[in-house]
Structure 1
């Protein structure tokens, strides 16, 4: 087919199209197309790199979250143990000369039925302690978590108690094991039950 565009000197230019004997039409050749799906090796590498970075970011986020969860659980276990130890110390260290403050310390770490029961018995207990001029000092031994379930833990504490009163100034020390139920509350953790175990 001829192109009718004029040449620079004004003469029309003719374009010759050769007919091939086999009837095939020449297709343009793209030297950069060496894959079947049209993607170059550079593009494939770029996509693979983006996928790899996204996967690494996902794994990093997941591992970071797991580490955070583990840290929070350890902090809660430490809190339960610390509150259990403090409550055992408060319960076994009562001095008749400051008994009101000592009883208040026990109530400060108590909640639930333990708080209710101890508060009801506080006045008669104070009266007996003051009349007998009783003094007890608890020395904490080993302590550990027996179990943790959600927001509650069972804490075992070994305590040696040295007691004295007006009638018996020096008594032999007594070794106790206490099981304290500690539960999470809004402002930390408190003891909801106390029992002595053999």
Structure 2
């Protein structure tokens, strides 16, 4: 009885209460310890995330630096002068080539005109220079320089013509007074020729010269040209 009465005043803890108290405290400590561990893990994760962000930012900065690169140096006056010189040389070479081609074309056209004119002149001489003693050769020379319809027509008349010349003992000599191109194309031309012709035969050995005018068509065949038609004009 004495013990029961004194207990309230001194607030003596019984062994059972102490055991319960000690049992509760570890749970509290465990809870506190768990909470602290979670906080530590979260903090560590946050630190890792910050480190990753920093690393990514550094990598982006490095990539940006590589893409931008150092600024280019301006082109010097020497390089500009060299480029301008090269452009001028190329332009002059092109101009020289074009002028050379034009000169070649002009020279070739002049050669063709001279060829047509020469063939026309020679054709007129062949037709007006015939000797009865060399009639065969003279007629053959006319045929060799002829082509087209003129060749066909003269070939058909060649034999009767030679017989008349031989019977009359005719001789004619032509001299070119004037000749020029009337028209000119790629492969043909017309040549106007003025010829003075002296004629003699057995019945009239001496005759006055006669002036003939001819329009001779010349056609180019390959590298040569031949008479394709002959007209006598007033």
Quick check: TM above 0.5?
Answer: yes
SS of match in other structure, 1:141? strand
Matches within 5 A, 1:37-52: 38-52=74-88
TM-score by length of 1: 0.80
Q: Given the alignment, which residue of 196, 202, 210 partners 1:166?
A: 202
Which residue in 1 is equivalent to 2:11? none
Which range moves more in the overlay, 61-70 or 171-180? 171-180
Higher helix content, 1 or 2: 2
Segments of structure 1 that go 5 or more residues without pairing to the other structure are 1-27
> Once the 2 structures are TM-superposed, how far is the Cα of residue 165 of structure 1 from its aligned partner?
1.1
> Once the 2 structures are TM-superposed, how far is the Cα of residue 108 of structure 1 from its aligned partner?
1.3
SS of match in other structure, 1:170? coil
Q: Given the alignment, which residue of 189, 193, 196 partners 2:225?
A: 189
SS of match in other structure, 2:202? coil
Q: Given the alignment, which residue of 157, 162, 169 partners 1:121?
A: 157
> Once the 2 structures are TM-superposed, how far is the Cα of residue 29 of structure 1 from its aligned partner?
9.3
Q: Deviations over 1:146-184 (max 9, x none)?
A: 110111111111101111111222222110111100111
The number of equivalent residue pairs is 166
Partners of 1:58 and 1:29 in 2: how far apart?
A: 40
Partners of 1:55 and 1:183 in 2: how far apart?
A: 41
Which residue in 2 is equivalent to 1:112? 148
Superposition RMSD on alpha carbons, in Å? 1.6
Which residue in 2 is equivalent to 1:147? 183
Which residue in 1 is equivalent to 2:216? 180
Partners of 2:196 and 2:184 in 1: how far apart?
A: 25
Which residue in 2 is equivalent to 1:76? 112
Q: Which protein shows a greater Rg?
A: 2
TM-score by length of 2: 0.68
Runs of 4+ in 1 over 6 A off after TM superposition: none
Partners of 2:85 and 2:134 in 1: how far apart?
A: 71
> Once the 2 structures are TM-superposed, how far is the Cα of residue 64 of structure 1 from its aligned partner?
0.3
Matched, 1:130 2:173: no
Partners of 2:146 and 2:70 in 1: how far apart?
A: 85
Q: Deviations over 1:11-57 (max 9, x none)?
A: xxxxxxxxxxxxxxxxx998x93xxxx32221111111111100000
SS of match in other structure, 2:227? strand
Which residue in 2 is equivalent to 1:63? 99
Higher strand content, 1 or 2: 1
> Once the 2 structures are TM-superposed, how far is the Cα of residue 195 of structure 1 from its aligned partner?
0.5
Segments of structure 2 that go 5 or more residues without pairing to the other structure are 1-68
Matched, 1:90 2:126: yes
